[in-house]
Amino acid sequence: MAEEISNIQNEIMLVGSFYKNPDFFIEYGQYIKSKYDFSDEATKFFYENAEVIFQKRTQTFNQTTISTYMTEDKDRLKLYKKYGGWKLLESWISLSIIEDFRNYFDILKKYSLLREYHRNGFNVQKIIDHPKFQLFNAVDIYRLIRSKADRIHTVILTNNESEILNEKICSLIDNCLEKPDIGLSLPFPIMNELFRGIRTGTMMANGALSNSGKSRYLFKIVAYIALVLKQKVCVLLNEMSIEDMRLALLVTAINNPEFQKLHGFNINKNEREIAIGLYKDDNGNFIYRKTDEEGNYIETTEEYKSRLIEQSKEYRDIFQIACWIERETSGLIYAKDVSESYDDKSLEYEIRKNNLVNNVKYFFYDTLKNDIDSVGDWSALKKTVTKLSQLTTQLDIFVFGSLQLTDDVNHIDPLMMSSSNIAECKAIKHVLDSLTMFKHLRKDEYNKYYYVSVSDWGEPEERYLDMSKKYVVFVVDKNRTGRKTSILMELDLDKNIWIELGEIFRKEK
pLDDT tens, residue by residue, 453-468: 866 566 788 999 999 9
Residue 178 pLDDT: 62
Q: Is the pLDDT of residue 163 over 60?
A: no
Q: Tell me, yes or no, whether 206 lies in a domain.
A: yes
Q: Residue 501, exposed/middle/buried by CB under 10 A (0-12, 13-18, 19+)?
A: middle
Q: Tell me, yes or no, whether 267 lies in a domain.
A: yes
Strand bridging mode 434-440 / 398-404: unpaired
- In terms of residues, how long is the chain? 509
Q: Both 335 and 237 in a single domain?
A: yes
Q: Both 142 and 241 in a single domain?
A: no
Q: Both 236 and 92 in a single domain?
A: no
* Residue-number span of the structural domain to which 289 is assigned: 189-506
Domain boundary (137, 158, 179) is at 158
Which pTM does this prediction carry?
Answer: 0.79
| Residues 396-415, mean pLDDT to the nearest whole number | 88
Q: Both 92 and 211 in a single domain?
A: no
| CA angle in degrees (0–180, nearest 5) for 480-496-369 | 50
Q: Both 412 and 281 in a single domain?
A: yes
> Over 193-243, what HEC string results?
HHHCCECCCEEEEEEECCCCCHHHHHHHHHHHHHHHCCCCEEEEECCCCHH
Q: Is the pLDDT of residue 21 over 90?
A: yes
Q: Which carries the bigger pLDDT value, residue 425 or residue 442? A: 442
- What's the rounded Cα separation, in Å, for the pair 111 and 149? 15
Q: Both 122 and 65 in a single domain?
A: yes
Q: Tell me, yes or no, whether 182 lies in a domain.
A: no
| Residues 163-192, mean pLDDT to the nearest whole number | 73
DSSP string, 142-175: HHHTHHHHHHHHIIIII------TTSSHHHHHHH
Selection from 398, 476, 385 nearest residue 424 by Cα: 385
Q: Tell me, yes or no, whether 183 lies in a domain.
A: no
Q: Tell me, yes or no, whether 173 lies in a domain.
A: no
Q: Tell me, yes or no, whether 264 lies in a domain.
A: yes
Residue 154 pLDDT: 53
- What's the rounded Cα separation, in Å, for the pair 51 and 461? 57
CATH number of 335's domain: 3.40.50.300
Domains: count for the chain: 2
Confidence band for 185, pLDDT divided at 50, 70 and 90: very high
The mean pLDDT value of the chain amounts to: 88
Neighbouring CB atoms inside 10 A of 459's CB total 7
